[in-house]
Structure 1
Amino acid sequence: MLSMQNPPTSASTHDRIPADRKRKHPRHSSTSAAAADSIANAHKQQTISELFSNSQQKPLDTRVLSPSSKRLKLDSPAPIASPPSIPASAPLPPDKMYSFPTNNTVDLTKSPGNSPRKTAVRTNKPNFNPHLGARKLVVKNFRPQAKTDPAIYLNQVWEKLDKALAVVFKSEKLDFSLEELYRGVENLCRQGHAQEVCTRLEKISEKYVAEGLRGPLLEKLGNKSVDLLRATLTAWTTWNEQLKYVYWIFCYMDRSYLLQRSKSLEDIAISMFRSIVFEDPQLNPRIVDGACDLISADRSGENLDRQLFSETVKMFHKMQVYTTSFEPRMLELSQSFVAEWAVRESADQALPEYVESSVRLIRSEMERVEIFSLDSTTRRDLLALLEDHLIEKRKDRLVNQDDVADLLDENKAQSLEQLYTLLERRRLGSSLRPSFEKWIDDTGTGIVFDDKEQDDMVVKLLCLKRQLDTIWKVSFHRDEHLGHALRECFEAFMNKTKKTTATWNTDNSKPGEMIAKYVDMLLRGGAKAIPAQLSSIASKSVTVAEDDNEEIIFDEDTEINSQLDQVLDLFRFVHGKAVFEAFYKRDLARRLLMGRSASADAERSMLAKLKTECGSTFTANLEQMFKDVELAREEMASYKSRMAERSEKQSVDLSVNILSAAAWPTFPDIKVIIPSDIKNAIDKFEVHYESKHKGRKLDWKHALAHCQIKAKFPKGNKELVVSSFQAIVLLLFNDLGADEKLSYQHLKEATGLPPAELSRTLQSLACAKLRPITKHPKGRDINPTDQFSLNANFSDPKYRIKINTVQLKETKEENKETHERVAEDRNFETQAAIVRIMKSRKTITHAELVAETIKVTKNRGTLDMAGIKRNIDRLIEKDYMERGDTGAYNYVA
């Protein structure tokens, strides 16, 4: 017997089939029972199993017929019935030794699955001819034969599919089995009908989309574009809902046939709706305009149908028409809208309102892009479009000098910040520089040359500087170009010179003088002397300091140092520092000699700042002044110690400051008759000093002296702090009665003061707020005919009273003298610079010499071109240099 699962690869010697026995066998895998019985009766032979029943049986070969993995798996045949046994003692005749069945050929082309399992039974065959050879073993295909016609089966299945699609496209209730339809499509695809199924599905779907979806939309062409868009979106939603069932039914075709061709049912369905409905010449422009109309309604202030617009954007993305149809049309309409809006708003609104409206428009457009997840290309192109029309093409309007000046005048930091931020979108923030520079120059020049408000110049400049610094930091985001413009403009207008009465017709810069006087006011008065507007601004600047991560603690010393730092910011812009030096030295001398400094630490701090800013050469004389004061204190301590050793008592408590003339400013010598007690004390000190320091001569400056005297008034005793001149005048009233008077002429002869100095002294004593003497007749001016008496009604709540000292205030004559001396020193410094240049260059042209001179003398103060030319001529006259034949200057050794 042969097994179908494990057929033998070759026939055994004992199982050969004679060649004359070869015949065709039926397709069944085994011989029927009736045929086996007829053959057994005809031949009366025994099988090989019976012949060799006494021998040991070998198992059949179970090797696989073919290594192909695609062969159908067949069931194993039923076990073979055991043949009847033959007695071992019965001998067999020779012709009965070998016998083979006549119908043992097996048809391998028939699957055992198509017929019931049967057992092949070997039968005994007569007339065995061993010499005829084996029969031929024929192996046929395993391919199953179709039971029905494939075309008929295709039509049967499609008929069911067609009915199912009709129900789906009508959105009716499903009355069929999706699994049955899925199996039908799978069988068709396995039988090679996938292409036909796909073609039929496309045709019926196209027909439905054209008639069932596009048809109703064409009937609504007369409606608004938004309504047509809404209907299209409804059709799109319906189509997607119906496609779910189509995907379920034709899933096998989608995953096998279409996938191999890089297609899918979803792509085919989307492409079908896009080509038939969306790309229809009548529907396409209306659908796109409907989406754009939603945006236009939102821009005009109407309520935007957010859900409709969001679903529309999703539909455009799904159909892949966003960038080809919607985006270009939307940008085209946006460009027209923005262009008209920019022209209208820029003409009708002021600059701050236009900037605010533009910022608001850009913000709303970008918010719409973010909310509805529009493409990045849309955001980019729309933003470029907005910036082009609102900023680039309106640049002249945005940087208009008059409008920017109005914002700066009103200190609208927020509006300026919006303006700068708007311009900076196109890197145009620095285009504000011309307007910014012009406003700074005009405002600063007006402050510097305002003759009526000279005393408030520094306060106004500090307020201006702080305002502009805040605008630069907060509004202009520390723009580098605008920061340079701010510094350059301050440097320009603060060094402008004009020969006016304020500078006594000299080329000196007024800011240098006023800065020195402002520093003197701070160092004399302390924190109380800081102007109110600067203090309030300082408190408001805490926020800015916090933004810069600076920790500021406001106490008295800190605030004074803060004010000094701000003054130094102005001082850095001044080129002619010689003017500042002259006035600062004079004021420092007054503070040191009269003890009017509010804080010694503040004085030292200011000196250190000046040294850092201008160098040690600039502050050498100032440092010497401080040293002289310290040495004077040691000298007075030594003098008083010696007087104590001698047990000598002084009638007055004398304190003397000995100064080196080279370091200190020059003060005028004013003749005055010193009272005898004071004169004796002065003479004793001179003897002591000359005995200690040989060859030195003391030159007394009584105009700088001050005194403390005790006065007895009818209403109480007081201690008066007065100047030396005031003390000399008051001492003349000691021996007078209550009704006695002294004439102006008598006071002049008794004090020996010049008329101008005497008039200022009497005015401070008799015409000020505190009046220890009375003027007759009353008035504010001192006349030679006036008479003076002791004020018997003088009183004050304080015991120690400070009488205003006129000499603490600079007079016009002193101011004029200082300016003229500075101008004269500048000429000497210019000549010295020219000589040094000529000595190093030997020969130089006029233009080069002027340029070098300006460069060298810039820090101390530069003369104008005419002044430099005059000093060159003076040096030629003094034979320091000469004119050459070529027009150049030659140095004369």
Structure 2
Amino acid sequence: MSSVATRTPPDAMPQVPNREDLNATWKYLEYGVDKIMVDLKNGIDMNLIADACLKYMGVYTAVHNFCTSQKAVSNTATGTVIGGAHRGAHLLGEDLYQNLIHYLTGYLKNLVKLSRTHTDEALLSFYIREWDRYTTAAKYINHLFRYLNRHWVKREMDEGKKNIYDVYTLHLVQWRQTLFNEVNEKVMDAVLKMIEKQRNGETIEHNQIKSIVNSFVSLGLDESDSTKSTLEVYRFHFQRPFLEATKVFYQAESKQFVAENSIVEYMKKAEARLDEEEERVTMYLHDDVTLLLKRTLHGALISDHSALLRDEFQILLDNDRVDDMERMYKLLARIPDGLDPLRAKFEAHVRKAGLDAVSKVAVEADKLEPKVYIDALLEIHTQYQGLVKTAFQDEPEFTRSLDNACREFVNRNPVCKSGSNKSPELLAKYADAVLRKGTNGAEESDLENTLNQIMTVFKYIEDKDVFQKFYSRMLARRLIHTTSSSDDAETSMISKLKEQCGYEYTNKLQRMFQDMQISKDLNSGYKEFEGKLVEPGDARPVDASYSILGTGFWPLNAPNTDFTPPAEIAKAYERFQTFYNQKHSGRKLTWLWQFCKGEVKANFCKNQKTPYTFQVSTYQMAILLLFNESSTNSYDDIVKATQLQGEVLDPALGIFVKAKIFNMSPEGDKPGPGKVFSLNTDFKSKKIRMNLNIAVKSEQKQEVEDTHKTIEEDRKLLMQSAIVRIMKARKKMKHTQLVSECINQIRVRFVPKIPDIKKCIDILLEKEYLERLDDDELGYLA
């Protein structure tokens, strides 16, 4: 049979055939198919062609009539028997189906011949033009043969016959088998040349590529189910060579660009290329290629040069090149494990920056201003937290690297040479300065922000128990001496600590506040009680207020010296004790004289109309009141009257001598036995009110030492209780496992040292809480 695609259909429509004559029927149908194919090539409106075919030629009717006829006439022209008297109607459709296949094969072979006269873009134009005509014709022909689809084709497919398709799909199958397999490689070569031109900056007709892509996608048919389509044809014949060409192009370009330009310029180039390819997918590629294209680009543009990029990172860090670091982050984030080396370098850089900042402010630990130290830590954290947010998009792993670095330089730096507990001590002192009245702490409007900064440093402190001890002692002083700048600020700070460390950590701090509130109510009741005791004409009692502090909650010790209070004070506190015993029978009050204070008026100065007011401790008050009886007192007289020990009395007298309230003879450096003290009646001061209740450095140093001793004792008890708790739950445990579990439980408060844990285990063994078993195992003794 000759190629029907080259034949021009007759001008006149053949007569309507005998329904049982296959030869005549096919000739009739062939005319209609030819008419559609040729007129499409000539650009005639297919709506008119369709109407003509359906209205005047009765093609659909001819298909229907033939398929429903009971007999068929032999096709003598081809020498094959197409039908017979006993063939069923369901077989007759096969005759038309096979003739259509022969027709399409001939038509497409002719197109293959024509394609060989075109190359490159001309070939693409030819392919797209013929594809559009062919698929448009297929839709109309499928419409004309729809009876065949609905009955014979459907029945064959339902019976599981392979390689049977509806008429439209048959057109696609024939295109793929006859034309596509012959020309696809040349078509793809032309496509790749166009894409390369575009990558090199030339303008192309990208709609042609989009049409090619759509054509390749349309040819994907599921061999096991003709009603479904796949992307196999597109993936094998378009996507595979496209990705390979992409890889080769960018490997060559990037290698040359890196050799001739800086890494920063290369990153800009790579970023631009990635954006271009993303746009290219949107413009004319299929979405299915997106993931594989990204993988290919990331390999050629990033992975192949990742070592060079990472080497450049340190330079960018050293020079604060934020934009370039952000660009590098975005590039390396696209490849597996691309950012791990950057995180390690970032962590090391931040740690070094923190240590350098501390070194600049480091002096002797006792002379170092807490604010200067904390500001140095915060400056580094703020700087690199901003970098993480801006350049690294707040990525959790970079945040973790920042936290690790900060934890290192906060706990192990030149200031902490004597131990990691120096940072929490200085932080507690800084918090005290911020929260105390009359200091250069934060303004009210900035107070909350400053507390947040304190908590930022607190988060990194390992020995949180050290901070707790120092903070609680300083809070106690602020509450006792009413020097807190704001109750709201104090409450806010405790809430922040509770949120960070839990209820147990702040339980005593909250109870201290409760005690102060209870004391306020108690003082109101005492005023009423005292008013009933004083008779008209009695001397006015000392105006005093009292704070009742729970022994288990306040970090305060009993006085470390004997003390005999003056009569004026003794009467007042005895009266309060009577009142308190009436309200709370059986409770014992321990008077903490070292924390008591008051005011006295000084009328001994010559030519001073307005008396001075001295703010003094109770010990200082007892000393001053002795001079009401005599303007001169010896050191021994003062000791006998007050019973104060030298370590308390000497500093108190030294303050009076230094302020020139007392004259000391014989003159010397320090008060002590053999010295005589007299009032300086020529005393003058610009201030009417003078605060003489000043902490002595030796006392402060002693308090710090006592605090550290308390911390060590508390740690031993905490480790022992943790060990007992673990063993009670586990009954038996290996020694190394017990040590490890103990560290895990306690590290939220402090990082215990393994030798200290072992000592605590030995103590518990001696106390028979634990016993040694075989194979380095420990057992719990109930």
TM range (shorter): 0.5 to 0.7
Q: Provide the residue aligned with 2:248 in structure 1.
A: 336
Q: 1:373 to 1:745 in 2, by over 3 A?
A: farther
The alignment status of 1:592 with 2:495, answered yes or no, reads no
Percent of aligned pairs with the same amino acid: 26
Q: 1:285 to 1:576 in 2, by over 3 A?
A: closer
1:390 to 294, 301, 309: 301
Distance 1:417 1:203 in 2: 54
Q: 1:651 to 1:491 in 2, by over 3 A?
A: same
Give the partner amino acid of 2:429: K
2:425 to 513, 517, 529: 513
Distance 2:654 2:191 in 1: 92
2:523 to 636, 640, 645: 636
Q: Provide the residue aligned with 2:203 in structure 1.
A: 305
Matches within 5 A, 1:500-649: 502-503=418-419, 509-524=421-436, 529-530=441-442, 556=445, 560=447, 564=451, 567-568=454-455, 571=458, 576-608=463-495, 610=497, 614=501, 617-645=504-532, 646-647=534-535, 648-649=538-539
User: Normalising by the residue count of structure 1, what TM-score does the alignment of the two structures yield?
Assistant: 0.54
Distance 2:124 2:388 in 1: 53
Residue 594 of structure 1 and its aligned partner are, at CA, apart by 0.2
In the alignment, is the contact (CA less than 8 A) between 2:298 and 2:334 conserved in 1?
no
Q: 1:208 to 1:610 in 2, by over 3 A?
A: closer
Q: Where do 5+ consecutive residues of structure 1 fail to align?
A: 1-67, 72-164, 170-178, 218-227, 299-303, 533-554
Distance 2:384 2:772 in 1: 49
Q: Provide the residue aligned with 2:9 in structure 1.
A: none
Residue 581 of structure 1 and its aligned partner are, at CA, apart by 2.9
In the alignment, is the contact (CA less than 8 A) between 1:440 and 1:489 conserved in 2?
yes
C-alpha offsets along residues 16-49 of structure 1, whole Å, 9 cap, x if unaligned? xxxxxxxxxxxxxxxxxxxxxxxxxxxxxxxxxx
Q: Provide the residue aligned with 1:864 in structure 2.
A: 753
Distance 2:553 2:526 in 1: 24
Distance 1:280 1:840 in 2: 73
Deviates more, 1:646-655 or 1:836-845: 836-845
The alignment status of 1:412 with 2:334, answered yes or no, reads no
Distance 1:843 1:279 in 2: 75
The alignment status of 1:359 with 2:271, answered yes or no, reads yes
Q: Provide the residue aligned with 1:707 in structure 2.
A: 598
Residue aligned with 1:393, SS: helix
The alignment status of 1:295 with 2:185, answered yes or no, reads no
Q: 1:526 to 1:676 in 2, by over 3 A?
A: closer
Q: Where do 5+ consecutive residues of structure 2 fail to align?
A: 1-14, 19-38, 43-48, 63-76, 78-99, 149-165, 220-232
Residue 831 of structure 1 and its aligned partner are, at CA, apart by 3.7
C-alpha offsets along residues 579-631 of structure 1, whole Å, 9 cap, x if unaligned? 23322221121011100112223334444555566555544543443343334
Residue 363 of structure 1 and its aligned partner are, at CA, apart by 1.0
Q: Provide the residue aligned with 1:657 in structure 2.
A: 547
Distance 1:649 1:755 in 2: 34
Distance 1:316 1:631 in 2: 83
Matches within 5 A, 1:87-126: none
Distance 2:437 2:238 in 1: 74
Q: Provide the residue aligned with 2:333 in structure 1.
A: 423
Distance 1:205 1:626 in 2: 96
Residue 386 of structure 1 and its aligned partner are, at CA, apart by 1.2
C-alpha offsets along residues 821-849 of structure 1, whole Å, 9 cap, x if unaligned? 21123223434554566667666543344
Matches within 5 A, 1:130-149: none
Q: Provide the residue aligned with 1:817 in structure 2.
A: 706
Give the partner amino acid of 1:294: K
Distance 1:763 1:744 in 2: 12
In the alignment, is the contact (CA less than 8 A) between 2:732 and 2:778 conserved in 1?
yes
Residue 312 of structure 1 and its aligned partner are, at CA, apart by 7.4
Residue aligned with 2:333, SS: helix
Distance 1:710 1:339 in 2: 90
Q: 1:483 to 1:754 in 2, by over 3 A?
A: same
C-alpha offsets along residues 160-198 of structure 1, whole Å, 9 cap, x if unaligned? xxxxx9xx99xxxxxxxxx9xx99xx99x99x9xx9x99
Residue 854 of structure 1 and its aligned partner are, at CA, apart by 3.5
Q: Provide the residue aligned with 1:540 in structure 2.
A: none
Give the partner amino acid of 2:704: N
Q: 1:844 to 1:335 in 2, by over 3 A?
A: closer
Give the partner amino acid of 2:594: A
Residue aligned with 1:866, SS: helix
Q: Which has the higher helix share?
A: 2
C-alpha offsets along residues 541-565 of structure 1, whole Å, 9 cap, x if unaligned? xxxxxxxxxxxxxx84xx6556546
Residue 424 of structure 1 and its aligned partner are, at CA, apart by 4.0
Distance 1:198 1:861 in 2: 85
C-alpha offsets along residues 692-751 of structure 1, whole Å, 9 cap, x if unaligned? 7666665443432333455789698776655556767888999999xxx99999999999
Residue 356 of structure 1 and its aligned partner are, at CA, apart by 4.2
Give the partner amino acid of 1:393: D
Distance 1:314 1:814 in 2: 85
In the alignment, is the contact (CA less than 8 A) between 1:421 and 1:429 conserved in 2?
no
Residue 867 of structure 1 and its aligned partner are, at CA, apart by 1.7
User: Normalising by the residue count of structure 2, what TM-score does the alignment of the two structures yield?
Assistant: 0.60
RMSD of aligned residue pairs (Cα, Å): 6.9
Distance 2:407 2:571 in 1: 55
Q: Provide the residue aligned with 1:113 in structure 2.
A: none
How many positions carry a matched residue from both structures?
A: 659
Q: Provide the residue aligned with 1:806 in structure 2.
A: 695
Give the partner amino acid of 2:543: D
Distance 1:289 1:829 in 2: 73
C-alpha offsets along residues 371-409 of structure 1, whole Å, 9 cap, x if unaligned? x52444665554332111233334445556x82696499
C-alpha offsets along residues 241-280 of structure 1, whole Å, 9 cap, x if unaligned? xx9xxx99xxx999999xx9989xx99xx99xx99x9999
Residue aligned with 2:540, SS: coil
Distance 1:345 1:743 in 2: 92
In the alignment, is the contact (CA less than 8 A) between 1:716 and 1:795 conserved in 2?
no
Distance 2:689 2:402 in 1: 49
Q: Provide the residue aligned with 1:75 in structure 2.
A: none
Q: Provide the residue aligned with 1:129 in structure 2.
A: none
Matches within 5 A, 1:810-889: 811-834=700-723, 845-861=734-750, 863-877=752-766, 883=772, 888-889=777-778
Matches within 5 A, 1:678-697: 678=569, 681-682=572-573, 685=576
In the alignment, is the contact (CA less than 8 A) between 2:378 and 2:453 conserved in 1?
yes
C-alpha offsets along residues 202-237 of structure 1, whole Å, 9 cap, x if unaligned? 999999998xx86xx9xxxxxxxxxx96x8899999
In the alignment, is the contact (CA less than 8 A) between 1:387 and 1:426 conserved in 2?
no
Give the partner amino acid of 1:305: T
Deviates more, 1:805-814 or 1:728-737: 728-737
C-alpha offsets along residues 782-803 of structure 1, whole Å, 9 cap, x if unaligned? 899999978977436xx77767
Give the partner amino acid of 1:632: S
Residue 863 of structure 1 and its aligned partner are, at CA, apart by 3.5
Matches within 5 A, 1:67-78: none
Residue aligned with 1:520, SS: helix
Matches within 5 A, 1:229-308: 291-292=194-195, 294-298=197-201, 304-306=202-204
Larger radius of gyration: 1
1:455 to 367, 370, 376: 370
Residue aligned with 1:707, SS: strand
